């Protein structure tokens, strides 16, 4: 398999630690798209820590410079990287797993990605990411009248550097504070590194403007907690997930990496589950 990776941060590097054992064999090639200033450090890190991951490596600064044709590309860089890199890959017929799902909250980006996938006969794959139960939601949606309400609860440090800082004194709060209530579109746009799951629920379910979102900073949170409920004429259910944050990024739950790994294993192995 030739795997492309856009981004070389927490998700990408944790994924590379897991890949050799998960796949049981090295990739044919790994192509990494990094920011220009990061290219040399990424090359050194690949040679030092990840030589067992692939038989060949390349590091480029733009997705159209990737050597050969990847079988699959994983975007794990952020909302900006989705609009710069993903439409071109899809138009070229390359399937892409987009982890920064919240980028689709911008209607122009959602339309462009769908148009590009159609034009290239490629698939835009949105992983479940830090949550589960998306399969049932996506199935129920077809029958109509599905309602989704989501609550994202993280320790205060995970909200650092976000607009939550204007509503809450993150360093001093002692109890849980709700600092945002609104739609999934508003949440995904304002919290691009923290509310991608709200976008995933919206896309699998009733859409960005009909998905209710509440965001909470809670010093007692047992990790990054995602709670949501689904009501539909066919079934109703509620989910609560207590995720461990990643060592490399408190905002990102480590299970997100395993969700990406699942997409790759489903692609590389004989069984899809």
Ligand X SMILES: O=C([O-])CC(=O)C(=O)O
* Binding test (CB under 6 A) with ligand X, winner from 2, 141, 185, 251: 251
Question: Contact between 130 and ligand X (CB under 6 A)?
Answer: yes
Active site residue 85: no
Question: Contact between 151 and ligand X (CB under 6 A)?
Answer: no
Selection from ligand X, ligand NDP, none that 11 binds (CB < 5 to 8 A by kind) is: ligand NDP
Q: CB of 91: closest distance to ligand X in angstroms?
A: 26
Number of Cβ atoms within 10 Å of the Cβ of 258: 17
Of 33 and 101, the one with the shorter C-beta distance to ligand X is 101
* Candidates 19-27, 65-73, 214-222, 250-258; binding stretch for ligand X (CB under 6 A): 250-258
Selection from ligand X, ligand NDP, none that 204 binds (CB < 5 to 8 A by kind) is: none
Positions in 228-257 near ligand NDP (CB under 6 A): 246, 248-249, 252, 256
Selection from ligand X, ligand NDP, none that 38 binds (CB < 5 to 8 A by kind) is: ligand NDP
| Residues tagged in the binding site annotation for NAD(+) | 130, 196
* Candidates 32-40, 54-62, 82-90, 245-253; binding stretch for ligand X (CB under 6 A): 245-253
Of 20 and 78, the one with the shorter C-beta distance to ligand NDP is 78
Question: Contact between 253 and ligand X (CB under 6 A)?
Answer: yes
Of 20 and 248, the one with the shorter C-beta distance to ligand NDP is 248
Positions in 191-230 near ligand NDP (CB under 6 A): 192-193, 196-197, 200
* Binding test (CB under 6 A) with ligand X, winner from 96, 98, 195, 201: 195
Q: H/E/C letters for each residue in the chain?
A: CEEEEECCCHHHHHHHHHHHHHHCCCECEEEEECCHHHHHHHHHHHHHHCCCCECCEEEECCHHHCCCCCCEEEECCCHHHHHHHHHHHHHCCCCEEECCHHHHHCHHHHHHHHHHHHHHCCCEECCCCCCCCHHHHHHHHCCCCCEEEEEEEECHHHHCCCCHHHHCCCCCCCCCEEEEEEEHHHHHHHCCCCCHHHHHHHHHCCCCCCCEEEEEECCCCCCEEEEEEEECCCCEEEEEEEECECCCCCCCECHHHHHHHHHHHHHHCCCCC
CA distance 125 to 16: 19
Q: Which residue is nearest to ligand NDP (CB)?
A: 9
């Amino acid at each position: 398999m030739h795997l492309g990776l856009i981004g070389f941060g927490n998700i990408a590097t944790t994924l590379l630690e897991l890949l050799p054992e998960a796949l049981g064999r090295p990739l044919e090639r790994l192509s990494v798209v990094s920011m220009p200033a990061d290219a040399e450090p990424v090359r050194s890190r690949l040679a030092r820590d990840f030589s067992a991951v692939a038989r060949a490596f390349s590091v480029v600064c733009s997705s159209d410079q990737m050597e050969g044709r990847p079988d699959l590309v994983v975007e794990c860089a952020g909302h900006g990287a989705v609009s710069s890199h993903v439409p071109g890959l899809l138009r070229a017929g390359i399937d892409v797993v987009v982890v920064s799902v919240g980028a689709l909250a911008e209607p122009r980006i959602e339309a462009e990605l769908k148009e590009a996938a159609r034009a290239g006969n490629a698939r835009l794959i949105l992983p479940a990411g830090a949550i589960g139960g998306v399969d049932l939601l996506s199935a129920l949606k077809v029958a109509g009248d599905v309602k989704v309400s989501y609550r994202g609860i993280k320790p205060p440090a995970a909200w650092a550097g976000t607009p939550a800082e204007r509503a809450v004194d993150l360093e001093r709060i002692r109890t849980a504070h709700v600092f945002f209530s609104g739609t999934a579109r508003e949440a995904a746009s304002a919290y691009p590194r923290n509310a991608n799951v709200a976008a995933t629920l919206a896309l699998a379910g009733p859409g960005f403007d009909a998905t209710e979102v509440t965001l909470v900073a809670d010093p007692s949170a047992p990790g990054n907690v995602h709670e949501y409920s689904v009501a539909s004429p066919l079934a109703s259910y509620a989910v609560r997930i207590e995720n461990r944050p990643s060592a490399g990024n408190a905002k990102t739950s480590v299970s997100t990496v395993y969700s990406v790994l699942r997409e790759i294993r489903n692609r590389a192995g004989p069984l899809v589950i």
